[in-house]
Structure 1
Amino acid sequence: MTVETTTEAPTIEESEIDESGIDPAPSRLTILDPRTGALVGTLDVQDPAAVGDAVARAREAFPAWRRTPAAERGAMLHAAADALEVRADEVARIQSSETGKAVDDAHGGIAAAVGTLRQYAELGPVHRGRSLQGGIDAVDLAVHRPRGVVAVLTPWNDPVAITAGLVGAALATGNTVVHKPSERCPHTGALVNEILAACFPLDVLIPLVGDGSTGSALVAHPEVDVVAHVGSSVTGRAIHLAAAAHDAHVIRENGGNDALIVDAGVDPEWAAAQAAIGAFANAGQICTSVERIFVHRAVAEPFVAALVREAEALTVPGVLGPLVDERLRQGVHHHVEAAVAAGARALTGGTVPDGPGTFYPATVLADCTPDMAVMAEETFGPVAPVMVVDDVEEALVRAADDRYGLAATILTASMETAHRAIAELDVGTIKVNAVFGGAPGGSAQPRRASGAGFGYGPELLDEMTTTTVVHLGLPRTAVTS
């Protein structure tokens, strides 16, 4: 998929917010299928005036929505889940055409979205405050209150599930929402917003279509109380600075440079299969994809050989999907080329294929070093850079030496080593012996360049609310004779 506008393109990753300022000139988004290059459609970008109108309408709708009983809000979220489930085929098809994600995979994200909406439909009414221990003649309470207008900015790589999480938690707690999907999948975002908004009162959920200028106007609006963003780290930092100017609360899950440690003593074939899932699933376009691999020298040779076989099995047409657009493909290939120029070896892949679309082959790089961009930065493509280490101590030190803090995985037969990884890796999520997975309702707290605040789970309800402490004492009445 390629995004084109008639105004100057945003200059930062993801293009969800434009740091260079807001261009008031109208523009259009032109979306191309990343498999074939065929036109998916065009949409008008909404200008700052439209953004201001959306925020004003959401602000006006807020008092009535916050007074709506939580159980009624939950019932509407259940209705939204039902409506999304009924139209899952339609949503999956348009998402696939815009992002290149396989239809079956898109259905998986939609199913997760339906489950998430139902989760918040149930969690919202039981979102508890606390009682505090005070004197016998008074009651002290900590009570949750909705914050107000929530600006939600969602990415293209898992747009439906992430929308359900952020929008669902915001609405369940009595906030109103203005939602701008990524400019890389605006048709998907528009359709999902249409389905969800129809289940709520007017202006409780307001959609926007736009590019970086639209995101800038939304984040900078002084009547926005919360900004919830999933996307790149560069964009996340810009959003945090813009939101701080008017004291908005910021929740953000941003990029990661997730490490995979392969310890001695594990089955190298199994470890390679795990690494392949982590690095190549959705063509590496997952926030928690494996971005760098540290393998113990004792198993390095059979592990790398097996990983190459896993990568080469994905060369069958249709098995590995395309990257979302040519801009991302060029960025991925630049990382690979720079690594090879600095001494890495491409054992398979590493070339831009001929033909239409934006495919990039599953690539295994050996002899990588920490200073290479492919190890130091998020590549966000189907690339598995491997560095051999002498022991698990070195692996843990290398994995921890990173400006990101999203997730990490360790494959080990040693419970002692697993506990060390849990203690020493300062990231939001640590996975032991499985690169993906987790219980429903799980949450995580990214670190450093990877974001701030809890995303998803019951803790996201806390992020979407403020806490008011109430001291309720006994009145003193006048004494009458």
Structure 2
Amino acid sequence: MTTVHAPATFDSLNPATDAVVGTYAVHSAEQVEAAVARAKEAADWWASLGFAGRAERLGRWRAAIARRMSELCAVVGEETGKPAGDAQLEVVLAIEHLAWAAKNARKVLGPRRRMPGLLLSNQAASVEYHPLGVIGVIGPWNYPVYTPLGSVSYALAAGNAVVFKPSEYTPGVGKWLVDTFAEAVPERPVLQLVTGLGETGAALTRAGVDKIAFTGSAATGKKVMAAAAETLTPVVIEAGGKDPLLVDEDADLDAAADATVWGAFSNAGQTCAGVERVYVHQRVYDEFVAKVVDKARRVEPGRDYGPMTMPAQLDVVRRHIEDALARGGKALLGGKDAVGARFVEPTVLVDVPEDSAAVREETFGPTVTIAKVADMDEAVAKANDSTYGLGSTVFSKQRGMELARRLRTGQTAINAPLSFAGIASLPFGGLGDSGFGRIHGPEGLREFARPKAIARQRFPAPIALTTFARSKTTEALVGKLIAKLHGRG
């Protein structure tokens, strides 16, 4: 008698209650390879639709998400524990990005003429962008709609098929998105789902995709890159952050304090571009800190933000708080008893040494450090003294643009929290341990396409250089021409 083994599965849990909200397959390497093979066939069909055909179908999907937003928000809430309003916010932003990508793909990726130059003026020069083929997207759990769709939407609009591996903490969100896409685009498996743990994600990097888009920690991003390097598969990495917020002496302190509290504590601090460090001009430091503490006291875990989605992160948050206090820091709110079994109370830390874990490492929890600086030069220097370089925020009435340009980050918001994330035309990405490459905006569309250069001869060149019949007279003429054109310094 042959024993039939059930396929491996894993449960998705509600982090607020540990209730099982779904059971999903752990897809094997063979199953992932089969999905990629199906995607390669679907990619040819999807690319053949052209920009208009794809935009029409992506419009159907966008409309379905918008109509059924409450349904999707409920799935997000079940798997992350975040409040309905926070779930709605990320879905709304994801819809905006999907709409922009579909609408602007032709303008960004369509054929463009280039000047051929004087020597090759007989040529017509152009460049256009072709789809890469199949994109593997490995998504995170903290924003399981907005973040992966920042890659999925742009990859699809550029003409690629996508195999999507959501986080093992939010597989239901991934399934909902893929299922609704299949309803809008039933013809071919252009967007497919694979579920599982880290091994499934590793299998996707080795399955023959044409590019990997990964969002997660820097440590896991390095593993993804190493696996992709085996087949020279290109990657775009959106890793963690330790984002600073700068408060100048002329800042609107109420607005800056509100942005700090929102940026640090929304989504339980589980935001890669959230506010983790604040540097405040000494002239307004005391007043600013008082406003932050006053606003933060009104923030209630379980009402204003959800639990820590990944239980292991509780230990990281606890370690950072304890290290900060042991090194001489003070907790004006929260502190060593802030970390509970599921939730973390808002924690405001001051006088924390710059070389402490709470300042150097990504906390990814509802804590924030606030430091006094003599001036904005010191603020910029300390903000830039980090291995991360994702996002940043500046509050200043007079020097906002100047300070923003000096910050070593991929994007900066001035006088508002995280505004760059909601503007679909702006690229998003980091440097250093925050990764590389860009999603969103024109750069995000080009991230999932390959440039194709074409030179077409319109008529024979009067001066033929690329032939063995080239004469000494021609060489002398070219020499004189170049000297006349470029010889003057």
Which residue identity is paired with 2:198?
G
Cα displacement (A) at 1:276: 0.8
2:230 corresponds in structure 1 to: 245
**Aligned-pair distance for 1:162?**
2.3
Letter in 2 for 1:58: A
User: How do residues 235-314 of structure 1 correspond to structure 2 at under 5 angstroms?
Assistant: 235-314=220-299
Q: Distance in 1 between matches of 2:392 and 2:90?
A: 22
Match of 1:229 among 214, 237, 255: 214
Select which of 403, 406, 409 maps to 2:387.
403
Secondary structure, in 3 states, of the residue corresponding to 2:454?
strand
User: How far is the alpha carbon of 1:136 from its aligned partner?
Assistant: 4.4
- Conserved? CA contact 2:83–2:304, under 8 Å: no
Name the residue aligned to 1:9: none
Counterpart in 2 of 1:376? 360
- Residue 189 (structure 2) pairs with residue 207 (structure 1): no
The secondary structure found in structure 1 opposite 2:299 is helix
**TM-score, normalization: structure 2?**
0.87
C-alpha displacement at 1:316, in angstroms? 6.9
CA contact (8 A) 2:338 2:346 kept: no
Give the aligned partner of residue 414 of structure 1.
398
1:429 to 2:415 alignment: no
Q: Measure, in 1, the Cα distance between the counterparts of 2:337 and 2:434.
A: 29
Q: Structure 2: give runs of 5+ residues left out of the alignment.
A: 1-5, 461-489
Structure 2 CA distance for aligned equivalents of residues 83 and 90 of structure 1: 11
Cα deviations across residues 178-220 of structure 1 (Å, max 9, x unaligned)? 0001111111111111111332232211111111000001012
- The one-letter amino acid paired with 1:454 is R
Contact 2:308 2:344 in 1 (8 A): yes
Structure 2: distance between partners of 1:261 and 1:353: 26
Query: What value does the CA root-mean-square deviation take over the aligned residues?
Result: 2.0
Residue number in structure 2 paired with 1:217:
203
State how far apart, in whole Å, the 1-side matches of 2:416 and 2:95 are. Answer: 25
**What's the CA shift for 1:337?**
1.3
User: Structure 1 residue 344: deviation in Å?
Assistant: 1.1
CA offset at residue 73 of structure 1? Answer: 0.9
1:349-388: CA deviations, max 9, x gaps? 1245697x61100000111111111111111111011122
Letter paired with 2:191: L
Find the partner of 2:73 among 80, 92, 110.
92
- d(CA) in 1 for partners of 2:396, 2:96: 32
Most deviating of 180-189 and 35-44: 35-44
Report the TM-score when normalising by structure 1: 0.88
Could you say which residue in structure 2 is the equivalent of 1:20?
none
Query: Helix, strand or coil for the counterpart of 1:408?
Result: strand
Match of 2:327 among 332, 339, 342: 342
Deviations 1:301-356 (A, max 9, x none): 2222221122211137512322213212222112111211221111111245697x
Question: Which residue is equivalent to 1:8?
Answer: none
Amino acid at match of 1:468: K
After superposition, the Cα gap between the structure-2 partners of 1:166 and 1:411, relative to the gap in structure 1 and judged at 3 Å, is same
Matched-pair contact (CA < 8 Å) for 1:77–1:120? no
Does the CA contact (< 8 Å) of 1:80 and 1:117 recur in 2? Answer: no
Partner of residue 50 from structure 1, selected from 31, 34, 37: 31
SS in structure 1 of the partner of residue 280 of structure 2: strand
Go from structure 1 to structure 2 and tell me whether the alpha carbon gap of 1:60 and 1:288 turns closer, same or farther (over 3 Å shift).
same
Larger CA deviation: 394-403 vs 122-131:
122-131
Report the AA paired with residue 279 of structure 1.
A
Distance 1:246 1:309 in 2: 53
Matching residue's letter, 1:114: I
CA distance in 1, matches of 2:287, 2:323: 26
Q: Distance in 1 between matches of 2:70 and 2:58?
A: 20
* Aligned partners of 1:26 and 1:47 also within 8 Å: no
Q: How far did residue 145 of structure 1 move?
A: 0.8
**Deviation (angstroms), 1:75:** 0.5
Distance 1:420 1:132 in 2: 34
User: Is residue 377 of structure 2 the alignment partner of residue 388 of structure 1?
Assistant: no
CA distance, structure 1, for counterparts of residue 138 and residue 97 of structure 2: 17
SS at match of 1:291: strand
Partner amino acid for 2:306? Answer: G
Superposed CA offset, 1:130-160 (max 9, x none): 2122244331111211111100111111111
Shift of the 464–204 alpha-carbon distance from structure 1 to 2, 3 Å rule, reads: same
1:129 to 98, 106, 111: 111
Q: 2:317 aligns with which of 311, 332, 336?
A: 332
1:26 deviation in Å?
Answer: 5.8
Amino acid in structure 2 at the alignment position of 1:395: A
Q: What is the number of equivalent residue pairs in this alignment? A: 448
Cα distance between partner residues in 2 of 1:445 and 1:160: 17
Which protein shows a greater Rg?
2
Structure 1, unpaired ranges of 5+: 1-24, 477-481
Alpha-carbon distance in 1 for matches of 2:432, 2:387: 6
Question: Which residue number corresponds to residue 7 of structure 1?
Answer: none
1:35 Cα offset (Å): 1.9
Query: Compared with structure 1, are the counterparts of its residues 339 and 67 closer, same or farther at alpha carbon in structure 2 (3 Å cutoff)?
Result: same
CA drift at 1:71: 0.6
Sequence identity (%): 35
Task: Find the residue that maps to 2:176 and give its secondary structure.
Answer: helix
Would the alpha carbon gap of residues 440 and 464 (structure 1) be closer, same or farther in structure 2, given more than 3 Å must change?
Answer: closer
**Are positions 1:455 and 2:442 aligned together?**
no
Work out whether 1:119 is the aligned partner of 2:105.
Answer: no
Partners of 2:305 and 2:95 in 1: how far apart?
A: 26
Which of 90, 94, 99 is residue 109 of structure 1 equivalent to? Answer: 90
Amino acid of the structure 2 residue aligned with 1:40: V
Distance 1:172 1:250 in 2: 18
Q: For 1:28, give the aligned amino acid.
A: T
Q: By how many angstroms is 1:67 displaced?
A: 1.8
* Distance apart, 1:45 and its partner CA: 1.1
- Structure 1 Cα separation of the partners of residues 164 and 74 of structure 2: 21
Question: Residue 434 and residue 285 in structure 1: after superposition, are their counterparts in 2 closer, same or farther (change >3 A)?
Answer: same
Q: CA deviation at 1:114?
A: 2.1
Instruction: Work out whether residues 240 and 250 of structure 1, in 8 Å CA contact, stay in contact via their aligned partners in 2.
Output: yes
Task: Decide whether aligned partners of structure 1 residues 123 and 265 sit closer, same or farther in structure 2, where only a CA change above 3 A counts.
Answer: closer
Measured at CA, do residues 176 and 386 of structure 1 come closer, stay the same or move farther in structure 2, by a change above 3 Å?
A: same
